Structure 1
Amino acid sequence: MEKILIIEDDADIREGVRILLEGEGYSVSEAENGRKGLELLKEEPDLVILDVMMPGMSGLKTCEEIRKISYVPVLFLTAKSQESDKLIGLMAGGDDYLAKPFSYSELLGRVKALIRRWKIYRGKEEPEQEQRYIELAGIRLNEEFNEVSVKGTNVEFSDIEYNILRLLMKYPGKIFSAQNLYESVWNEPYFYNCNSTVMVHIRRLRVKIEEDPKNPKLILTVWGKGYRFGEH
Protein backbone atom coordinates (compact mmCIF):
# COMPACT_ATOMS: atom_id res chain seq x y z
CA MET A 1 0.00 0.00 0.00
CA GLU A 2 1.44 3.37 -1.05
CA LYS A 3 1.85 5.95 1.71
CA ILE A 4 1.04 9.64 1.29
CA LEU A 5 1.91 12.46 3.67
CA ILE A 6 -0.30 15.57 3.64
CA ILE A 7 1.25 18.75 5.07
CA GLU A 8 -1.51 21.38 5.14
CA ASP A 9 -2.58 23.85 7.81
CA ASP A 10 -6.24 23.88 6.74
CA ALA A 11 -7.94 21.02 8.61
CA ASP A 12 -10.90 20.87 6.21
CA ILE A 13 -8.65 20.45 3.17
CA ARG A 14 -6.58 17.82 4.98
CA GLU A 15 -9.68 15.86 5.89
CA GLY A 16 -11.17 16.05 2.39
CA VAL A 17 -7.96 14.93 0.71
CA ARG A 18 -7.40 12.19 3.28
CA ILE A 19 -10.90 10.75 2.80
CA LEU A 20 -10.46 10.82 -0.98
CA LEU A 21 -7.06 9.11 -0.91
CA GLU A 22 -8.01 6.50 1.67
CA GLY A 23 -11.02 5.68 -0.50
CA GLU A 24 -8.55 4.96 -3.31
CA GLY A 25 -6.60 2.56 -1.10
CA TYR A 26 -3.71 4.79 0.00
CA SER A 27 -2.33 4.98 3.55
CA VAL A 28 -2.43 8.63 4.62
CA SER A 29 -0.68 10.54 7.41
CA GLU A 30 -1.26 14.21 8.20
CA ALA A 31 0.69 17.17 9.51
CA GLU A 32 -0.64 20.67 10.15
CA ASN A 33 2.74 22.38 9.72
CA GLY A 34 6.12 21.91 8.11
CA ARG A 35 8.02 20.91 11.24
CA LYS A 36 5.63 18.09 12.10
CA GLY A 37 5.67 17.05 8.45
CA LEU A 38 9.45 16.70 8.52
CA GLU A 39 9.13 14.46 11.60
CA LEU A 40 6.66 12.20 9.76
CA LEU A 41 8.99 11.96 6.78
CA LYS A 42 10.83 9.17 8.60
CA GLU A 43 7.82 6.96 7.76
CA GLU A 44 9.15 7.08 4.17
CA PRO A 45 6.03 8.13 2.25
CA ASP A 46 5.71 7.57 -1.49
CA LEU A 47 4.38 11.12 -1.99
CA VAL A 48 4.17 14.38 -0.07
CA ILE A 49 1.25 16.74 -0.71
CA LEU A 50 2.46 20.10 0.54
CA ASP A 51 0.69 23.43 1.02
CA VAL A 52 2.81 26.43 0.02
CA MET A 53 1.23 29.08 2.26
CA MET A 54 1.59 27.92 5.87
CA PRO A 55 2.33 29.88 9.03
CA GLY A 56 5.75 29.36 10.54
CA MET A 57 7.77 27.21 8.17
CA SER A 58 6.41 27.79 4.65
CA GLY A 59 5.83 25.01 2.19
CA LEU A 60 8.78 26.19 0.10
CA LYS A 61 11.13 26.04 3.09
CA THR A 62 9.69 22.66 4.08
CA CYS A 63 10.35 21.34 0.59
CA GLU A 64 13.94 22.57 0.72
CA GLU A 65 14.40 20.68 4.01
CA ILE A 66 12.81 17.55 2.53
CA ARG A 67 15.25 17.66 -0.37
CA LYS A 68 18.19 17.56 2.01
CA ILE A 69 17.22 14.04 3.07
CA SER A 70 14.83 12.59 0.46
CA TYR A 71 13.90 12.58 -3.21
CA VAL A 72 10.27 11.64 -2.49
CA PRO A 73 7.95 13.39 -5.00
CA VAL A 74 6.35 16.59 -3.72
CA LEU A 75 3.03 17.90 -5.02
CA PHE A 76 2.49 21.55 -4.09
CA LEU A 77 -0.99 22.86 -3.28
CA THR A 78 -1.40 26.62 -3.40
CA ALA A 79 -3.89 29.39 -3.92
CA LYS A 80 -1.42 31.01 -6.30
CA SER A 81 -1.54 30.15 -9.97
CA GLN A 82 0.93 32.53 -11.58
CA GLU A 83 3.65 30.92 -13.70
CA SER A 84 6.30 32.67 -11.59
CA ASP A 85 4.89 31.06 -8.42
CA LYS A 86 4.94 27.66 -10.11
CA LEU A 87 8.57 28.18 -11.12
CA ILE A 88 9.55 29.11 -7.56
CA GLY A 89 7.88 25.95 -6.26
CA LEU A 90 9.65 23.74 -8.78
CA MET A 91 12.98 25.42 -8.07
CA ALA A 92 12.47 24.68 -4.37
CA GLY A 93 12.38 20.99 -5.25
CA GLY A 94 8.71 20.37 -6.00
CA ASP A 95 7.70 17.87 -8.70
CA ASP A 96 4.25 19.18 -9.56
CA TYR A 97 1.94 22.05 -8.74
CA LEU A 98 -1.85 22.19 -8.26
CA ALA A 99 -3.66 25.49 -7.72
CA LYS A 100 -6.63 25.75 -5.36
CA PRO A 101 -9.49 25.22 -5.84
CA PHE A 102 -8.84 21.91 -7.60
CA SER A 103 -11.06 19.02 -8.59
CA TYR A 104 -10.58 15.68 -6.90
CA SER A 105 -10.24 13.95 -10.26
CA GLU A 106 -7.35 16.26 -11.16
CA LEU A 107 -5.71 15.68 -7.77
CA LEU A 108 -6.02 11.90 -8.15
CA GLY A 109 -4.53 12.06 -11.62
CA ARG A 110 -1.49 13.95 -10.37
CA VAL A 111 -1.10 11.65 -7.35
CA LYS A 112 -1.19 8.47 -9.46
CA ALA A 113 1.27 9.85 -12.01
CA LEU A 114 3.80 11.00 -9.40
CA ILE A 115 3.67 7.76 -7.40
CA ARG A 116 4.00 5.65 -10.54
CA ARG A 117 7.09 7.59 -11.66
CA TRP A 118 8.56 7.31 -8.16
CA LYS A 119 8.07 3.54 -8.10
CA ILE A 120 9.70 3.19 -11.52
CA TYR A 121 12.60 5.42 -10.38
CA ARG A 122 13.20 3.15 -7.40
CA GLY A 123 12.93 0.04 -9.55
CA LYS A 124 9.78 -1.23 -7.82
CA GLU A 125 7.71 -1.30 -10.94
CA GLU A 126 8.43 -1.68 -14.63
CA PRO A 127 6.90 0.90 -16.96
CA GLU A 128 3.61 -0.31 -18.34
CA GLN A 129 3.52 -0.75 -22.07
CA GLU A 130 -0.09 0.29 -22.24
CA GLN A 131 -2.12 2.60 -20.08
CA ARG A 132 -5.79 2.10 -19.36
CA TYR A 133 -7.64 3.98 -22.06
CA ILE A 134 -11.20 4.01 -23.24
CA GLU A 135 -11.33 5.51 -26.72
CA LEU A 136 -14.55 6.03 -28.65
CA ALA A 137 -15.75 8.52 -31.25
CA GLY A 138 -12.74 10.83 -30.91
CA ILE A 139 -12.86 10.84 -27.11
CA ARG A 140 -9.94 9.32 -25.23
CA LEU A 141 -10.45 8.72 -21.52
CA ASN A 142 -7.34 7.79 -19.52
CA GLU A 143 -8.49 5.93 -16.40
CA GLU A 144 -4.95 5.84 -15.03
CA PHE A 145 -4.63 9.61 -14.73
CA ASN A 146 -8.30 10.70 -14.85
CA GLU A 147 -7.72 12.68 -18.05
CA VAL A 148 -9.95 13.18 -21.08
CA SER A 149 -9.10 14.45 -24.53
CA VAL A 150 -11.61 15.32 -27.25
CA LYS A 151 -10.17 15.04 -30.77
CA GLY A 152 -6.66 15.35 -29.34
CA THR A 153 -7.35 18.32 -27.07
CA ASN A 154 -7.34 17.89 -23.29
CA VAL A 155 -10.61 19.02 -21.73
CA GLU A 156 -11.26 19.67 -18.03
CA PHE A 157 -14.17 17.89 -16.40
CA SER A 158 -15.63 18.06 -12.91
CA ASP A 159 -15.53 14.85 -10.86
CA ILE A 160 -19.21 14.18 -11.55
CA GLU A 161 -18.89 14.87 -15.28
CA TYR A 162 -15.84 12.61 -15.55
CA ASN A 163 -17.53 9.73 -13.73
CA ILE A 164 -20.72 9.98 -15.81
CA LEU A 165 -18.71 10.00 -19.03
CA ARG A 166 -16.54 7.07 -17.91
CA LEU A 167 -19.61 4.99 -17.03
CA LEU A 168 -21.33 5.70 -20.35
CA MET A 169 -18.16 5.01 -22.36
CA LYS A 170 -17.44 1.76 -20.55
CA TYR A 171 -20.78 0.40 -21.71
CA PRO A 172 -21.48 2.00 -25.11
CA GLY A 173 -24.99 1.35 -26.32
CA LYS A 174 -26.27 0.44 -22.83
CA ILE A 175 -29.16 2.63 -21.68
CA PHE A 176 -28.73 4.14 -18.23
CA SER A 177 -31.78 5.60 -16.55
CA ALA A 178 -31.41 8.80 -14.53
CA GLN A 179 -31.70 6.63 -11.43
CA ASN A 180 -28.91 4.31 -12.64
CA LEU A 181 -26.60 7.25 -13.24
CA TYR A 182 -27.42 9.05 -10.01
CA GLU A 183 -27.00 6.06 -7.74
CA SER A 184 -23.82 4.91 -9.54
CA VAL A 185 -22.08 8.31 -9.69
CA TRP A 186 -23.40 10.20 -6.67
CA ASN A 187 -23.60 7.07 -4.48
CA GLU A 188 -26.81 8.38 -2.92
CA PRO A 189 -30.44 7.21 -2.93
CA TYR A 190 -32.37 8.49 -5.94
CA PHE A 191 -35.46 10.69 -5.62
CA TYR A 192 -37.55 12.04 -8.46
CA ASN A 193 -36.13 15.58 -8.21
CA CYS A 194 -32.64 14.11 -8.77
CA ASN A 195 -33.59 13.71 -12.43
CA SER A 196 -33.03 17.42 -13.05
CA THR A 197 -29.56 17.17 -11.46
CA VAL A 198 -28.63 14.40 -13.88
CA MET A 199 -30.02 16.38 -16.83
CA VAL A 200 -27.92 19.42 -15.93
CA HIS A 201 -24.71 17.37 -15.88
CA ILE A 202 -25.58 15.61 -19.14
CA ARG A 203 -26.10 19.05 -20.71
CA ARG A 204 -22.68 20.20 -19.46
CA LEU A 205 -21.03 17.07 -20.80
CA ARG A 206 -22.57 17.63 -24.22
CA VAL A 207 -21.22 21.17 -24.32
CA LYS A 208 -17.71 19.80 -23.78
CA ILE A 209 -17.74 16.82 -26.15
CA GLU A 210 -20.38 17.38 -28.84
CA GLU A 211 -19.81 19.34 -32.03
CA ASP A 212 -23.41 20.56 -31.76
CA PRO A 213 -24.66 20.16 -28.16
CA LYS A 214 -28.25 20.88 -29.27
CA ASN A 215 -28.08 17.99 -31.71
CA PRO A 216 -26.02 15.41 -29.78
CA LYS A 217 -24.51 12.43 -31.54
CA LEU A 218 -22.49 10.93 -28.68
CA ILE A 219 -24.55 11.13 -25.50
CA LEU A 220 -28.03 10.28 -26.70
CA THR A 221 -31.35 10.63 -24.92
CA VAL A 222 -33.55 7.55 -25.21
CA TRP A 223 -36.92 9.05 -24.43
CA GLY A 224 -38.67 7.45 -21.49
CA LYS A 225 -35.65 5.28 -20.69
CA GLY A 226 -32.50 7.31 -20.10
CA TYR A 227 -29.16 7.96 -21.76
CA ARG A 228 -26.59 6.00 -23.71
CA PHE A 229 -23.24 6.63 -25.38
CA GLY A 230 -23.16 5.87 -29.06
CA GLU A 231 -23.04 7.49 -32.46
CA HIS A 232 -26.12 7.71 -34.68
Structure 2
Amino acid sequence: MNATAQTHVLIVDDDESMRELVSDYLADNEMRVTALASGRDLFATIDREAIDLVILDLKLPGEDGMQLARGVRERATVPIILLTGRNEEADRVMGLELGADDYVTKPFSPRELLARVRAVLRRYQVQATLPERDNARRAFRFAGWELNLRTRRLRSPDGADVELSNGEFSLLVALCRAPQRVLSRDQLLSMSRLHEAEVYDRTVDVQVRRLRLKLEADPGQPALLVTERGAGYRFACEVETLY
Protein backbone atom coordinates (compact mmCIF):
# COMPACT_ATOMS: atom_id res chain seq x y z
CA MET A 1 0.00 0.00 0.00
CA ASN A 2 1.28 3.44 -0.88
CA ALA A 3 1.84 5.39 2.33
CA THR A 4 0.35 8.51 0.77
CA ALA A 5 -2.85 6.73 -0.31
CA GLN A 6 -4.59 7.15 3.01
CA THR A 7 -8.25 7.61 2.11
CA HIS A 8 -9.78 4.13 1.86
CA VAL A 9 -12.75 3.84 -0.50
CA LEU A 10 -14.87 0.69 -0.81
CA ILE A 11 -16.70 0.23 -4.12
CA VAL A 12 -19.38 -2.43 -4.65
CA ASP A 13 -20.37 -2.93 -8.30
CA ASP A 14 -20.95 -6.11 -10.31
CA ASP A 15 -19.61 -4.47 -13.50
CA GLU A 16 -15.94 -5.45 -13.69
CA SER A 17 -15.03 -2.71 -16.15
CA MET A 18 -16.69 -0.11 -13.92
CA ARG A 19 -14.86 -1.38 -10.84
CA GLU A 20 -11.54 -1.23 -12.65
CA LEU A 21 -12.22 2.24 -14.05
CA VAL A 22 -13.16 3.70 -10.68
CA SER A 23 -10.43 1.85 -8.79
CA ASP A 24 -7.70 2.98 -11.17
CA TYR A 25 -8.87 6.58 -11.24
CA LEU A 26 -9.17 6.92 -7.46
CA ALA A 27 -5.81 5.17 -7.00
CA ASP A 28 -4.25 7.66 -9.42
CA ASN A 29 -5.58 10.37 -7.11
CA GLU A 30 -3.87 8.92 -4.02
CA MET A 31 -6.75 6.90 -2.62
CA ARG A 32 -6.70 3.30 -1.52
CA VAL A 33 -9.52 1.25 -3.05
CA THR A 34 -11.12 -2.07 -2.14
CA ALA A 35 -13.46 -3.33 -4.89
CA LEU A 36 -16.19 -5.96 -4.43
CA ALA A 37 -18.32 -7.56 -7.14
CA SER A 38 -21.26 -8.14 -4.80
CA GLY A 39 -22.56 -7.25 -1.36
CA ARG A 40 -21.68 -10.67 0.04
CA ASP A 41 -18.50 -9.44 1.77
CA LEU A 42 -19.60 -5.83 2.25
CA PHE A 43 -20.35 -5.90 5.95
CA ALA A 44 -17.37 -8.09 6.81
CA THR A 45 -15.10 -5.64 5.00
CA ILE A 46 -16.56 -2.65 6.85
CA ASP A 47 -16.14 -4.44 10.18
CA ARG A 48 -12.57 -5.45 9.38
CA GLU A 49 -11.23 -2.38 7.58
CA ALA A 50 -11.20 1.34 8.35
CA ILE A 51 -13.29 2.47 5.40
CA ASP A 52 -13.64 6.21 4.72
CA LEU A 53 -16.40 6.04 2.11
CA VAL A 54 -18.60 3.44 0.38
CA ILE A 55 -19.60 3.65 -3.29
CA LEU A 56 -22.55 1.28 -3.74
CA ASP A 57 -24.34 0.25 -6.93
CA LEU A 58 -28.04 -0.12 -6.13
CA LYS A 59 -28.67 -2.59 -8.96
CA LEU A 60 -26.65 -5.65 -7.94
CA PRO A 61 -27.98 -8.91 -9.43
CA GLY A 62 -29.97 -10.90 -6.89
CA GLU A 63 -29.35 -8.39 -4.09
CA ASP A 64 -31.33 -5.55 -2.56
CA GLY A 65 -29.19 -2.44 -2.85
CA MET A 66 -31.41 -0.55 -0.44
CA GLN A 67 -31.01 -3.23 2.21
CA LEU A 68 -27.26 -3.10 1.74
CA ALA A 69 -27.25 0.68 2.09
CA ARG A 70 -29.37 0.41 5.24
CA GLY A 71 -27.00 -2.19 6.67
CA VAL A 72 -23.99 0.03 6.03
CA ARG A 73 -25.69 2.96 7.73
CA GLU A 74 -26.63 0.84 10.75
CA ARG A 75 -23.06 -0.37 11.12
CA ALA A 76 -21.10 2.87 10.85
CA THR A 77 -21.23 6.58 10.15
CA VAL A 78 -19.15 6.01 7.02
CA PRO A 79 -20.45 8.14 4.12
CA ILE A 80 -22.24 6.45 1.21
CA ILE A 81 -22.44 7.42 -2.45
CA LEU A 82 -25.00 5.50 -4.50
CA LEU A 83 -24.62 4.55 -8.14
CA THR A 84 -28.00 4.63 -9.89
CA GLY A 85 -29.49 4.46 -13.38
CA ARG A 86 -30.60 7.56 -15.23
CA ASN A 87 -34.32 6.82 -14.85
CA GLU A 88 -34.28 5.64 -11.22
CA GLU A 89 -35.42 8.78 -9.41
CA ALA A 90 -37.45 6.79 -6.87
CA ASP A 91 -34.35 4.78 -5.92
CA ARG A 92 -32.29 7.94 -5.52
CA VAL A 93 -34.90 9.51 -3.25
CA MET A 94 -35.26 6.36 -1.16
CA GLY A 95 -31.49 5.99 -0.89
CA LEU A 96 -31.09 9.52 0.38
CA GLU A 97 -33.89 8.95 2.89
CA LEU A 98 -32.04 5.88 4.15
CA GLY A 99 -29.04 8.05 4.94
CA ALA A 100 -26.93 7.98 1.78
CA ASP A 101 -24.91 11.16 1.33
CA ASP A 102 -24.98 11.54 -2.44
CA TYR A 103 -25.66 9.68 -5.67
CA VAL A 104 -24.10 9.52 -9.11
CA THR A 105 -26.12 8.63 -12.18
CA LYS A 106 -24.67 6.14 -14.66
CA PRO A 107 -22.97 6.70 -16.99
CA PHE A 108 -20.67 9.16 -15.25
CA SER A 109 -17.15 10.45 -15.64
CA PRO A 110 -14.52 9.38 -13.10
CA ARG A 111 -13.72 13.05 -12.62
CA GLU A 112 -17.29 13.77 -11.50
CA LEU A 113 -17.21 10.84 -9.09
CA LEU A 114 -13.90 12.00 -7.62
CA ALA A 115 -15.33 15.49 -7.07
CA ARG A 116 -18.34 14.04 -5.26
CA VAL A 117 -16.13 11.76 -3.15
CA ARG A 118 -14.00 14.70 -2.07
CA ALA A 119 -17.03 16.87 -1.32
CA VAL A 120 -18.66 14.20 0.86
CA LEU A 121 -15.40 13.55 2.72
CA ARG A 122 -14.99 17.27 3.42
CA ARG A 123 -18.47 17.40 4.97
CA TYR A 124 -17.68 14.44 7.19
CA GLN A 125 -14.39 15.94 8.33
CA VAL A 126 -16.29 19.00 9.54
CA GLN A 127 -18.87 16.86 11.32
CA ALA A 128 -16.11 14.84 13.00
CA THR A 129 -15.32 17.84 15.21
CA LEU A 130 -18.66 17.53 16.98
CA PRO A 131 -18.29 16.46 20.66
CA GLU A 132 -21.02 13.81 20.46
CA ARG A 133 -18.89 11.80 18.04
CA ASP A 134 -15.93 11.66 20.41
CA ASN A 135 -16.61 8.04 21.36
CA ALA A 136 -17.38 6.85 17.84
CA ARG A 137 -13.80 6.62 16.60
CA ARG A 138 -13.05 3.69 14.29
CA ALA A 139 -9.38 4.22 13.54
CA PHE A 140 -6.40 6.53 13.73
CA ARG A 141 -3.95 7.22 10.90
CA PHE A 142 -0.50 8.73 11.36
CA ALA A 143 2.66 8.88 9.24
CA GLY A 144 1.31 6.20 6.88
CA TRP A 145 0.30 3.88 9.76
CA GLU A 146 -3.30 2.86 10.53
CA LEU A 147 -4.57 1.75 13.94
CA ASN A 148 -7.99 0.07 13.70
CA LEU A 149 -9.78 0.37 17.04
CA ARG A 150 -12.36 -2.30 16.25
CA THR A 151 -9.96 -5.03 15.25
CA ARG A 152 -7.09 -3.71 17.43
CA ARG A 153 -4.90 -4.09 14.34
CA LEU A 154 -1.94 -1.90 13.45
CA ARG A 155 -1.09 -1.69 9.76
CA SER A 156 2.30 -0.42 8.63
CA PRO A 157 2.81 2.01 5.71
CA ASP A 158 3.67 -0.94 3.44
CA GLY A 159 0.44 -2.78 4.35
CA ALA A 160 1.83 -5.32 6.83
CA ASP A 161 -0.01 -6.16 10.05
CA VAL A 162 1.98 -5.49 13.21
CA GLU A 163 1.02 -7.30 16.40
CA LEU A 164 0.50 -5.24 19.56
CA SER A 165 0.20 -6.39 23.13
CA ASN A 166 -2.73 -5.03 25.16
CA GLY A 167 -0.43 -2.56 26.86
CA GLU A 168 1.12 -1.37 23.60
CA PHE A 169 -2.29 -0.97 21.97
CA SER A 170 -3.68 1.06 24.88
CA LEU A 171 -0.63 3.29 25.02
CA LEU A 172 -0.74 3.94 21.28
CA VAL A 173 -4.44 4.82 21.48
CA ALA A 174 -3.68 7.30 24.27
CA LEU A 175 -0.91 8.89 22.18
CA CYS A 176 -3.13 9.13 19.10
CA ARG A 177 -5.83 10.88 21.11
CA ALA A 178 -3.40 13.62 22.10
CA PRO A 179 -0.91 14.21 19.26
CA GLN A 180 1.76 16.89 19.69
CA ARG A 181 0.99 17.17 23.42
CA VAL A 182 3.60 16.47 26.08
CA LEU A 183 2.18 13.78 28.37
CA SER A 184 3.68 12.73 31.66
CA ARG A 185 4.08 9.08 32.58
CA ASP A 186 1.21 9.35 35.05
CA GLN A 187 -1.02 10.90 32.38
CA LEU A 188 -0.19 8.14 29.92
CA LEU A 189 -0.88 5.46 32.49
CA SER A 190 -4.22 7.01 33.39
CA MET A 191 -5.28 7.59 29.78
CA SER A 192 -4.35 4.05 28.83
CA ARG A 193 -6.45 2.53 31.59
CA LEU A 194 -9.47 4.42 30.24
CA HIS A 195 -9.39 1.96 27.34
CA GLU A 196 -9.86 -1.01 29.67
CA ALA A 197 -6.44 -2.43 29.03
CA GLU A 198 -4.92 -4.88 31.45
CA VAL A 199 -3.25 -3.23 34.43
CA TYR A 200 0.36 -2.55 33.55
CA ASP A 201 2.89 -4.76 35.25
CA ARG A 202 5.72 -2.83 33.57
CA THR A 203 6.58 0.82 33.46
CA VAL A 204 5.39 3.22 30.77
CA ASP A 205 9.01 3.55 29.69
CA VAL A 206 9.17 -0.14 28.79
CA GLN A 207 5.95 0.10 26.77
CA VAL A 208 7.30 3.17 24.97
CA ARG A 209 10.52 1.34 24.14
CA ARG A 210 8.56 -1.58 22.69
CA LEU A 211 6.37 0.70 20.60
CA ARG A 212 9.44 2.43 19.22
CA LEU A 213 10.85 -0.89 18.07
CA LYS A 214 7.69 -1.39 16.01
CA LEU A 215 7.03 2.16 14.79
CA GLU A 216 10.35 3.89 14.36
CA ALA A 217 12.72 3.56 11.43
CA ASP A 218 15.54 4.12 13.94
CA PRO A 219 14.38 3.36 17.51
CA GLY A 220 17.57 4.91 18.82
CA GLN A 221 16.66 8.23 17.21
CA PRO A 222 12.85 8.28 17.47
CA ALA A 223 10.98 10.67 15.19
CA LEU A 224 7.41 9.78 16.20
CA LEU A 225 7.45 8.95 19.91
CA VAL A 226 9.73 11.65 21.26
CA THR A 227 11.10 11.96 24.80
CA GLU A 228 10.62 15.36 26.43
CA ARG A 229 13.26 15.32 29.13
CA GLY A 230 11.91 15.83 32.60
CA ALA A 231 8.33 15.99 31.34
CA GLY A 232 7.34 12.77 29.57
CA TYR A 233 6.62 11.85 25.95
CA ARG A 234 5.15 13.51 22.85
CA PHE A 235 3.61 11.87 19.81
CA ALA A 236 5.25 14.14 17.23
CA CYS A 237 3.07 13.61 14.17
CA GLU A 238 -0.27 14.57 12.65
CA VAL A 239 -3.05 12.12 13.51
CA GLU A 240 -6.20 11.66 11.41
CA THR A 241 -9.28 10.31 13.15
CA LEU A 242 -11.81 8.11 11.34
CA TYR A 243 -15.39 7.89 12.58
What TM-score do the two structures reach when normalised by structure 1?
0.51
CA distance in 2, matches of 1:57, 1:93: 19
Question: Is 1:108 aligned to residue 119 of structure 2?
Answer: no
1:91 paired to 2:97: yes
SS in 1 for 2:94: helix
The residue aligned with 2:127 is 121
Q: Which amino acid aligns with 1:3?
A: H
Which among 12, 18, 23 is matched to residue 18 of structure 1? 23
Tell me if the contact between 2:9 and 2:52 (Cα under 8 Å) persists in the aligned partners. Answer: yes
Q: Does 1:75 align with 2:81?
A: yes
Shift of 1:93: 2.2
Alpha-carbon distance in 2 for matches of 1:54, 1:48: 15
Partner of 1:6: 11
Q: Which residue of 1 aligns with 2:70?
A: 64
Q: Which amino acid aligns with 2:22?
A: V
Residue 38 (1) aligns with residue 66 (2): no
Matches of 1:89 and 1:67 in 2, distance apart? 11
Matches of 1:10 and 1:91, distance apart in 2:
26
Q: Tell me, yes or no, if the aligned pair for 2:84 and 2:91 is still in contact at 8 Å.
A: no
- Partner SS, residue 68 of structure 1: helix
Structure-to-structure mapping, 1:186-201, within 5 angstroms:
none
C-alpha separation in 1, matches of 2:50 and 2:66: 20
Q: 1:81 to 1:72 in 2, by over 3 A?
A: farther
**Equivalent position amino acid for 1:11 in 2:** E
Distance 1:96 1:11, change over 3 A: same
Cα distance in 1 for residues equivalent to 2:57 and 2:75: 19
- Supply the AA of the counterpart residue of 1:52: L
User: TM-score normalized by structure 2?
Assistant: 0.48
Q: How many residues are paired up?
A: 124
In 1, distance between residues paired with 2:104 and 2:84? Answer: 7
| Equivalent residues in 2 for 1:48-63, closer than 5 Å | 48-63=54-69
Q: Distance in 2 between matches of 1:17 and 1:119?
A: 23
Matches of 2:40 and 2:88, distance apart in 1: 27
Identity among equivalent positions (%) equals 37
Q: Is the 8 A contact 1:7 1:50 kept in 2?
A: yes
Query: Gapped runs of 5+ residues in structure 1?
Result: 125-232
Deviation at 1:71, TM superposition (A): 1.3
**Structure 2: tracts of 5 or more residues without a match:** 1-5, 131-243
Task: Kindly state the Cα deviation for residue 88 of structure 1 after the two structures are TM-superposed.
Answer: 1.2
Distance 1:17 1:104 in 2: 6
3-state DSSP of counterpart to 2:83: strand
Equivalent-residue separation in structure 2 for 1:19 and 1:123 (angstroms): 31
Q: Which of 50-59 and 14-23 deviates more? A: 50-59
